[in-house]
Copies of this chain bind each other. A is one copy, B any other.
Amino acid sequence: MKAEMIAVGTEILLGDIVNTNAQMISLGLDELGIDLFYQTVVGDNPERLREVLDIARRRSDLIITTGGLGPTLDDLTRETIAEAFGKTLVLHKPSLRRITAFFDQIGKDMTQNNVKQAMLPAGCKVLDNDWGTAPGCVFTADGVHVMMLPGPPKECTPMFRTAGMAYLSQLAGGVIVSRRIRIFGMGESAMEDRLHTLMATSTNPTLAPYAKDGECMVRVTAKAHSVQEAQQLLEPAVQQVCDKLGDAVYGVDVDSMEHAVAKLLTEKGLTLSVAESCTGGLLSKRITDVPGASLFYKGGACTYCNEIKQKILGVKQETLEQFTAVSSQTAREMALGIAAVYGTDLGIGITGYAGPDDGEDGTPAGTIYIGISYQGKAQVRRILSPRGRDRARWDAANHALDMILRVAQGRGLV
């Protein structure tokens, strides 16, 4: 099956936003074994969209569009596609009820222009939108499958990953099952080096390495006639990858380091609190991204100035004077202090220069100290993350999560 994607949105052509849906859908199609040959972006213009659709239907079996399903005047994807494929738009009452209920729930009046979001091609399969108002849909016409998804990534991503991919996997024949091995503390090239032979010789399952946001992932994907058969193919391959990567593997089929931390601390019955300076609350935010974090997480303190580090955490004045706020000593006292004040088994203390400016003493931006305390003892790791403020803060939080996993597993830091 030959697929192509069409993103509809003048805001992409103007450079206001990056077309991240393209990568998300590309990865999903790759998992499903569907060949994607073209990605096109076109503006909110019915003539040009029509022309792009006419090109796509001649060369592809599957067209996936994103964007242009909203309530406003320039949202024209639904109407243009229906016309191009000779489909009538009809009111899909369940979708209208969902949209109406949504406005009721948030206590706002629904303006009339929202109704058009529930007008869908006759006979289509509706893809419910649990993350926004505009439903998606998929239909077949003249042998071409057409799937429409909304533009906002927070809606498009979950809709495609659930209902969209489920529909496509039926078209593709057979099943595809993937497992994800997650790695922290080993770079992409080192990882590929260790997996090189395995990757070159594996055909089913296949191995695909990814690097993102300071960590790595290997996706192992098997094609088979049944889920059970796929699982049997996957099992030994996953084991081989884990053996080759050793200590750097922090989880299989876990969503993130914070999910791994939540699972481990809940299982072990350990409690946690965190003190943050340069990360400003990011670590606390990531920990509480996981539902149920209250089972192990008592809370945190963002101590963004020295007086608060002293007052809330009990960091000593002489420590701040002798070593400065950005030092191993301060990180250590922050970690010990927060655990004592919040009464938790584990405590984290993070202090550093996130950037863009270097420290006044010339310490380069990206220098960050991360302390961890456990049962009254503390250890500190120093990192240098020179790729900008956001990345430095993210990396510091990653290291803190890695340290929590290592200490809670009794592995010790490296």
Contact = CB atoms under 8 A, between A and B. Distances in A.
Interface in A12-27: 12-20, 22-27
A298 interface: yes
A356 B285 contact: no
A115 to B, nearest CB: 10
Interface string A70-82: 1111100000000
Query: Does more than half of chain A's interface fall in helix, strand or loop, or is it mixed?
Result: mixed
B187 A108 contact: yes
Nearest to A395: B106
B11 A36 contact: no
Contacts of A213: 154
A297 interface: yes
Interface string A85-118: 0000000000000000010011110110110000
Contacts of A219: 14, 16
A210 B108 contact: no
A390 B283 CA distance: 15
A369 interface: no
Contacts of A293: 280, 304
Contacts of A299: 301-305, 308, 312
A20 B209 CA distance: 20
A9 B288 CA distance: 31
A190 B342 contact: no
B281 A288 contact: yes
Interface in A324-359: 341-343, 355-357
Interface residues of A, number: 112
A192 B70 CA distance: 12
A131 B388 CA distance: 7
Interface in A257-292: 276, 278-285, 287-289, 291
A55 interface: yes
Contacts of A42: 37-38
Interface stretch (A141-149, A243-251, A379-387): A379-387
A152 interface: yes
A308 B272 CA distance: 13
Interface in A208-267: 208-213, 219
B287 A356 contact: no
Contact of A280 (B22, B188, B289): B289
B298 A111 contact: no
Contacts of A71: 188-189, 192
Contacts of A199: 73
A68 interface: no
A59 B59 CA distance: 18
B301 A302 contact: yes
B19 A192 contact: no
Nearest to A11: B210
A110 B391 CA distance: 20
Contacts of A46: none
B40 A39 contact: yes
Given A281-B302, A282-B285, 6 more contacts: A37-B42, A37-B43, A108-B187, A111-B187, A276-B284, A288-B304
Interface of A: 10-20, 22-30, 36-43, 45, 48, 51-52, 55, 59, 70-74, 102, 105-108, 110-111, 113-114, 130-132, 152, 154, 178, 187-190, 192-193, 196, 199-200, 208-213, 219, 276, 278-285, 287-289, 291, 293-294, 297-305, 307-308, 311-312, 341-343, 355-357, 384-391
5 contacts: A12-B26, A16-B210, A131-B388, A154-B213, A288-B302
Give the 3 A-B CB pairs with smallest separation, nearest first: A280-B288, A281-B284, A15-B26
